[in-house]
Structure 1
Amino acid sequence: MITRLVGALALSTALCASLPTFAQDQDLAAPDRIGLSSAPNKLVVRLTGDSPGNTDPDIAAGYKDLFVAFIKKHPEWQLQLQIQTQDIGTEQAKMLEQAKSGNAPDCAAVDSFVLGQFKANNVLSDFTPYFSKEEIADLFPFVREGISGADGEIYAWWWDTDLRVLYRNKSIVPDAPQTWDDLKKAALASKDQGMEGVLFNGGRWEGTTFDWLANYWSLGGKLVDDSGKPVFGDDDNKSKFLEAVNYFKDLVDSGAAPKRVATIVTYDDLAAAAAAGTTALFIGGSWQNAQLESTLDPDMFADWTFSHIPGPTPDDHKTGTGGWTIASFSKDPQKVEMCADLVRDIYMGPANALQQQLPTRASLYDKYPVFSTPANKEFAADLADGQARPGAPIYPEISNQIQIMMGDVLSGSKSPEDALSAAYNASLEAYDRL
């Protein structure tokens, strides 16, 4: 009997020793790892700043707590973290090539605007088994469409969305501009008070295309047809495209926007100008309201507000809706499920609340008090005017060509007509190579 008891105790000790244990959270979080370094299973996770790698210490700490709580539920796993740079286009293109060669991370953040490329190349694992029909039905229609494949299955989870708005210092610009002409007048008037006019992204990156597209969409313009072929330079869309380009060109030529907008390639520059008191107007993302609130003194923040991006007429205005997805490239069912669990425990609600990133599920707006604030209620209402970038595989190249075109037009090196012709022809050539 004693022999059997000793044997049982030895077996119990051996089993316990084989499982990772947590002692006061020691060794659970490192810059490139979440979980014990001795955990036998590894999941390579490549994320953006929506992670413990966020540059804001408070947000980084919040994510660290979420990730540590998650890994405590999965003690046999460790997450090997990789943080993407802010060069979104390059990062996503690199990851697509890795996925096609079988070298992609197990679980990763994929920008919604390139998700179509990943789906078209059949490199994403099926997420459908890990989310209920009710959860999928709760997604905004444009989100549900974006993550679904031709077979009706879902291949990512689009967890946050955003929109573009016009921020203004109401002590300098008291009334919200309703039209393009209104914005130009307000920007010029702000210069009389020492400001530099309206700021927006105009350099070589995705933000430039996306922020400007609201103007093209407000005219009814289309980028691609139902087959995914570029059409923005055809007979039906060319005049609308040129009208929207000339609007931005006129802002720069008139001095309503400084020439330096052609070099702006990050939303942080826009918020920094607001904090420095050098601008009273900028086109930015919905998430920047919380950024301004945390950055500015309360009295200074009280002067800032936002409104919808002006359109050519008061009744014609659009805004771009973006956001990030989480997807799995792994062929190992355990890793795919682990990636889906990561989405469920961290990104389906808690991360939205942490960063005030707008949820993609309608029910979450009532679940988290932060989304009942007047600002977030207004953002949610403005999603009715939102338009997502087309999920066509050619979109990234169209965006690239628009970025080049915008630089040529705003710098004056090409006429809008010549720049459009070059962008359209290059996009068609790229489409033929797909």
Structure 2
Amino acid sequence: MIAALCSLGALAAVLGFATVRPRGLPEALLAVPAALVVLATGLVPLHEARDETITLAPTLGFLAAILVLADVTDREGVFTWLGTRLASACRGRPPVLLALTFAAAAGTTAVLSLDATVVLLTPVVLATTKTLGLPPKPHVFACAHLANSASTLLPVSNLTNLLAFAASGLTFTGFAALMALPWLVTLTIELAVFLWFFRRDLAPRPTPQPDDGRPAPVFTLVVLALTLAGFATGQLIGLAPGWVAAIAAAVLGVRALVRRETTPWRIVVAANPLLTLFVLGLAVVVQSVSDHLLGGPLGALLPETAGLPELLLTAFVAAVLANVLNNLPATLILLSVLGPHPATGVLLAVLLGVNIGPNATYLGSLATLLWRRVLGRDAPGVGEFTRLGLATVPVSLAAATTALWLVL
């Protein structure tokens, strides 16, 4: 009992600090000491921590590369150009702008990960709505929701996917093929709910004619297209997604350095090594919680077969756990419980739960908390966020899980 309470206390402290981030201090500042305490007290054996670090290393290397790629892409003006195209294409019609924002957020999340949608696309969408004189709420909410729910498509879309991908036994294209229908179902339901929920904000109104802005950053867009193609085909020649992302980041990074659009230090900052330390520290603390508290009950609850009732149970358990503990520790715990060779359907149902489920509450994912910080005073209140979450999450999660079952 003492071990369970100590493990839970350490996790609560780490998540609380990461949520509040007093004075903007990095999440790793508490996660790393907490992990060291867990190791020093024997709550997690050193060999388990070593094995976990080795397992996570390729995933975290990919994460650093994709963060650099997203940062350089932003410096090349891709998101500014995208904002002008959204403003021009909608012709002042709020529902059309919302649909286009859904498409932009879903594509950004799928290819460049949810962090790019939160940090880079959200400010552009906010500025676009203000330029057009439209209520920003439906469109910035779309960025938050799709940063989570649209991250189910590709292994590279979310850290949770990357953590599970190694255990799935699937190829990149095999993963995408199984998740494509659930992804499309989720987007369709979310868009329908948004059009109803924000129907007053989406009423027609006169808007100024936007400036077409800068020309398309063709070189960067071509590199991104080749990167996506590399993700899909790289495994055929033994090239892991992490190496594809690293090559793309190097190409754009060197180009930006030559053109003096960035500096070596900015590239290091973009890679966010402190986030890597945070994930490693969190993984050790979560392992302690799994070993001493949640592993047994979850192991008894989670199914081993992939029938529809079993997949629904798995997805909703994962969603609840994500909203209680945050989706990253929830994923780590569930992967630990499922073991090294889980049933493919059960594993993918877990990902649906930890990616779609966090839209129910502000605490469901670190991406949502970051989105709230990015918006500052423009961030919606907790009540409205929760009401929209309750309107979208249960039905979209159930429908996406049913779609997964049909594909399987």
Bin of the TM-score, shorter chain as denominator length:
under 0.3
- How does the TM-score come out when normalised to structure 2? 0.26
- As a proportion of its length, which structure holds more helix? 2
- How does the TM-score come out when normalised to structure 1? 0.25
- As a proportion of its length, which structure holds more strand? 1
